[in-house]
Amino acid sequence: MDPAGVFATSFARDQALIRTRQQWIAFTLFILALFVLPYVVGPRLVAISTAMMISAVVVIGLQINTGYAGQVNLGQAAFMGVGAYATGVLATKAGLPFWLSIPLGGGAAAVFGFVFGLSAVRIKGFYLALTTIAAQALFHFLILNLPSSWFGASNGLSLEPATFFGIALATDRSIYYLCLVVAIIMAFGAYGIVRSSHGRAFVAVRDDDVASGMMGINVVRTKATAFLIGAFYAGIGGGLWAYYVRFVAVDQFTLFHSIWFIAMIIVGGMGSVTGALIGVFIITAIREGFVTLGPSLVHQFPALGGDVVFATMNVFLGGIIAAFLIFEPRGLMHRWNIMKRSYRLWPFPY
Amino acid sequence: MIDFLNYLINGALVGLLYALVAMGFIVIYRASKVFNFAQGELVVFGGFIVWWMVLAMGMPLAVGLPLAFVAAAVFGLLIERIFFSRLVGESVFAMVMVTIGLLILIRGLVLVLFGAQVRPFPIIFPLKPVIFGDILIPRSLLFGAILTIIVGLGLSWFFNRTRPGLRMTAVAEDHQVAMSLGISVKRSIAFAWILGALLSTLGAIIYLSGKSLSFLASDIGLAALPVALLAGFESIAGVLLAGLIVGIIQGLVTAYVDPAVGGAVGTVFPFVIMLFILFVRPTGMFGWKTIERV
């Protein structure tokens, strides 16, 4: 709901994402802060932020697919991997510049995701989740067993840095800006998609596919589209990843990475692009916190050994998924909306 | 010819081992309508309990094994108490996602409690293989197969013929309908998880006997998925047949196609079968034909 005194006087205004002057100011400041960030913080935080941008792109795709269209997807990391490999091959073998290879990588991932999304023609619910797990297994198998001259098999694939008008994007700072710009474009694309007729069709199919079919929505096409879009986002994220790490290997895209992505949308809030961004930020921040605190933790409790970081991280991740599903299935975004609403209504209850 | 028979029989026995693990999926599904992605982790947990009881605590097998089963049952009950008793009536999505959370949680728990080292697993079945003529059969798999068939037929009888079993079947059909009929959904789910944990421990004993144990053993949970799917998620006796089919196909593919291709076709082939089933016949061979088609 809007604060008092804000009235939508036209359709465009009613549809606007940013509704008040304060929001405009906050948004501008936020974007500015993101752009000056690499000059303020140290290299480690820049690296973490870059990883967040990349995850954000992937998770927004998952949010559209799972959060909006309700199609459980446990293969988002595999889709990301397809994008990364496609980008890598196009960049190294065909010598394409990054502004061609990343979108094409996204396209390749979209095709791969679409094939598995097609199974939505016949099945739904966790049966669909099973096909995405199969996607994960098949992806690993194909990469590892195809001739190593194609995708590098178990050796992985190394990339040259991206070049932009002759400038090599080899430093952390330059790659951060690349990821930031792409993430902003993709996020706005996602806001656009979920406000469009496609987005409304996704929500309708998620809430009741029989009823939405009655209303004239092509249910199968909507589900397949959701997979297509989700996988495209994953592929773009994968392409960024390929240029960021400049090394693509199959163990960067496992089932566990998919579960991390799902944890992010559960924590952030299903069915909200902003929620996806919040989830990415919080989960990544906590994970990096564990990694940073790890050595001192091991120092404090030497009996636990060096694997304790990985182990506690797993316990934490599993616990947080279960806790959010049990206590707040709609995620932090829902909490935030409740808070915002009561703030705007204060001192009235409703 | 002898080679072929060897591959055939060993494939079939491995398939029955998959069937035992798949039975864990199905039992939990049959009694609570939850698809448990954490089955492989339950197997690992069961394995570690056995290791801890028998090797770390030094109990004799006759004491350690029953205690391990008790501990596994308590663990199953705990899972239900902590997670699933709060989720009765929630969407299937939430429940399935909780099992995915559990997958990671149990893995972390195993690492915290037992460490990441590779442990030796107690030798429960003698290592000497059974030999018929030229055919070598690992003893653990043979006994395991016999146990699997007994347990499978017993559970099938229980779920299809007895009153408590049918009550749970009603829960698998629909939580609300079951509640309105006066069936305790919570008790049914608790029983499902206890049974699932017990079966997983049994699976761990057969799978790991005399081998080494680490948290990577949970891969068997994923390997058993195609078996559960081929059988259909509701059929307990059917899973025996499905296990045989998948195991034999996998054994033969591993033996004859792998050398030709030079890769692990055998390990991924069950997933190809799984995709094929999902596309062609999502109810599996014996599942209830109630899957909502889109």
Q: What is the pLDDT of residues B149-189, one digit of tens each?
A: 999 999 999 988 999 888 888 888 888 888 899 888 888 88
Residue B264 contacts A, CB cutoff 8 Å: yes
Nearest-CA residue of chain A relative to B275?
Answer: A131
Q: How many domains does chain A have?
A: 2
Q: How far apart are CA A275 and CA B89, in angstroms?
A: 25
Of B251, B188, B229, the closest CA to residue B22 belongs to B229
The interaxial angle of helices A126-145 and B265-280, nearest 10 deg, is: 150
> 3-class SS at A321?
helix
Confidence band for A28, pLDDT divided at 50, 70 and 90: very high
Q: Which CATH number covers residue A279?
A: 1.10.3470
Q: How far apart are CA A140 and CA A137, in angstroms?
A: 5
For residue B93, pLDDT over 70 is answered with yes
Residue A126: which of B86, B92, B274 has the nearest Cβ?
B92
For residue B283, pLDDT over 80 is answered with no
Q: How far apart are CA B8 and CA A46, in angstroms?
A: 56
State mean pLDDT over A222-240: 93
For residue B74, pLDDT over 60 is answered with yes
For residue A334, pLDDT over 50 is answered with yes
Q: What residue spans define the domains of chain B?
A: 2-219
Residue A119: which of B103, B265, B279 has the nearest Cβ?
B279
Within this chain, do residues A96 and A21 fall inside the same structural domain, yes or no? no
Q: Do A122 and B102 touch (CB under 8 A)?
A: no
For residue B27, pLDDT over 80 is answered with yes
CA atoms within 13 A on the CB side of B213: 30
Q: How far apart are CA B280 and CA A121, in angstroms?
A: 11
Q: How far apart are CA A280 and CA A272, in angstroms?
A: 12
> 3-class SS at A329?
coil
Contacts B264 to A, Cβ<8 Å: 141, 144-145
Q: Do A144 and B98 touch (CB under 8 A)?
A: no
Contacts B109 to A, Cβ<8 Å: 314-315
Q: Do A312 and B282 touch (CB under 8 A)?
A: no
- What is the distance of C-alpha B36 from the center of its chain? 10
pLDDT of residue B125: 81
Lowest mean pLDDT among A169-178, B34-43, B103-112, B210-219: B210-219
Residue A350 included in any domain: no
B125: left (phi over 0), alpha (psi -120 to 50) or beta: beta
Q: Do B115 and A125 touch (CB under 8 A)?
A: no
> CA dihedral in degrees (A281, B103, A328, B78; nearest 10)?
-140
Measured from the Cβ of residue A196, the count of other Cβ atoms closer than 10 Å reads 12
State mean pLDDT over A180-189: 94
Q: Do B101 and A141 touch (CB under 8 A)?
A: no
> 3-class SS at B148?
helix
Within this chain, do residues A26 and A51 fall inside the same structural domain, yes or no? no
Confidence band for B241, pLDDT divided at 50, 70 and 90: very high
Confidence band for A283, pLDDT divided at 50, 70 and 90: very high
Mean pLDDT of all residues in chain A?
Answer: 87
Query: End-to-end distance of chain A based on CA atoms, in angstroms?
Result: 11
Nearest-CA residue of chain B relative to A143?
Answer: B263
CA distance B96 to chain A (A): 7
CA distances from A222 to A197, A199, A233, B111, B265 (A): 11, 9, 17, 42, 34
Residue A207 included in any domain: yes
Residue recorded with tokens 């405009």: A24
Residue recorded with tokens 């303020």: A40
Residue A319: which of B105, B262, B292 has the nearest Cβ?
B105
For residue A134, pLDDT over 90 is answered with no
Residue A259: which of B94, B100, B292 has the nearest Cβ?
B100
Tokens at A247, concatenated:
């090394």
Q: Do B98 and A326 touch (CB under 8 A)?
A: yes
Contacts A223 to B, Cβ<8 Å: 294
Nearest-CA residue of chain A relative to B90?
Answer: A326
- Residue B263, φ and ψ in degrees, nearest 5: -165, 175
Within this chain, do residues A128 and A182 fall inside the same structural domain, yes or no? yes
pLDDT of residue B264: 67
Contacts B222 to A, Cβ<8 Å: 133, 137
Asked if residues B167 and B185 have their Cβ atoms less than 8 Å apart, the reply is no
pLDDT of residue B293: 47
* Higher pLDDT among residues A165 and B77, named by residue: B77
pLDDT of residue B96: 83
Measured from the Cβ of residue B71, the count of other Cβ atoms closer than 10 Å reads 18
Within this chain, do residues A57 and A197 fall inside the same structural domain, yes or no? yes
CA distance B176 to chain A (A): 18
Q: Any alpha helices (H) in A170-218, and if so which ranges?
A: 172-195, 197-207, 209-214
For B:124-183, CB contacts with A below 8 A are none
Of A176, A188, A222, the closest CA to residue A203 belongs to A222
Q: How far apart are CA A23 and CA A260, in angstroms?
A: 30
Residue A159 contacts B, CB cutoff 8 Å: no
Q: Do B291 and A127 touch (CB under 8 A)?
A: yes
Q: How far apart are CA B136 and CA B129, in angstroms?
A: 6
How many residues in total does chain B contain? 294
Q: Do A321 and B100 touch (CB under 8 A)?
A: yes
Residue recorded with tokens 């939850």: B34
Contacts B32 to A, Cβ<8 Å: none
Residue A133 contacts B, CB cutoff 8 Å: yes
Q: Do A315 and B292 touch (CB under 8 A)?
A: no
State mean pLDDT over A187-212: 92
Within this chain, do residues A190 and A280 fall inside the same structural domain, yes or no? yes
Bridge partners (DSSP) listed for residue A162: A169
Residue-number span of the structural domain to which A13 is assigned: 1-37
Residue A121 contacts B, CB cutoff 8 Å: yes
Within this chain, do residues A209 and A302 fall inside the same structural domain, yes or no? yes
Residue B290 contacts A, CB cutoff 8 Å: no
Within this chain, do residues A3 and A26 fall inside the same structural domain, yes or no? yes
For residue B294, pLDDT over 50 is answered with no
Q: What percent of chain A has pLDDT over 90?
A: 42
Q: How far apart are CA A210 and CA A316, in angstroms?
A: 38
* Higher pLDDT among residues B14 and A4, named by residue: B14
> CA dihedral in degrees (A285, A85, A120, A76; nearest 10)?
-10
Tokens at B93, concatenated:
């999505």
What pLDDT, in 10s, does the model give residues B220-232? 888 888 888 888 8
Lowest mean pLDDT among A2-6, A95-99, A165-169: A165-169
State mean pLDDT over A211-219: 91
Mean pLDDT of all residues in chain B?
Answer: 85
| Element spanning B114, H or E | helix B92-114
For residue A301, pLDDT over 80 is answered with no
Spell out the long-range contacts of B255-262 with Cβ–Cβ below 8 A and sequence spacing 24 or more: B255/B3, B255/B7, B256/B7, B261/A145, B262/A145
For residue B292, pLDDT over 60 is answered with no
What pLDDT, in 10s, does the model give residues A34-76? 999 999 888 889 999 999 999 999 999 999 999 999 888 888 9
Nearest-CA residue of chain B relative to A206?
Answer: B93
ipTM over 0.85 threshold: no
Q: How far apart are CA A226 and CA A265, in angstroms?
A: 16
- Residue A180, φ and ψ in degrees, nearest 5: -65, -50
For residue A148, pLDDT over 80 is answered with no
CA distance B111 to chain A (A): 5
Tokens at B62, concatenated:
């006759």
State mean pLDDT over A98-116: 90
What pLDDT, in 10s, does the model give residues B182-209? 888 888 889 989 999 999 999 998 888 8
Residue B268: which of A138, A308, A321 has the nearest Cβ?
A138
Q: Do B94 and A325 touch (CB under 8 A)?
A: yes
Within this chain, do residues A18 and A165 fall inside the same structural domain, yes or no? no
Contacts B292 to A, Cβ<8 Å: 124
Residue recorded with tokens 């146990």: B147
Tokens at A277, concatenated:
């961004």
Within this chain, do residues A162 and A288 fall inside the same structural domain, yes or no? yes
The interaxial angle of helices A308-327 and A255-268, nearest 10 deg, is: 40
Q: Do B100 and A262 touch (CB under 8 A)?
A: yes
Within this chain, do residues A46 and A33 fall inside the same structural domain, yes or no? no
Contacts B229 to A, Cβ<8 Å: 130
Test the A interface: residue of B42, B112, B246, B273 with most A CBs within 10 Å? B112
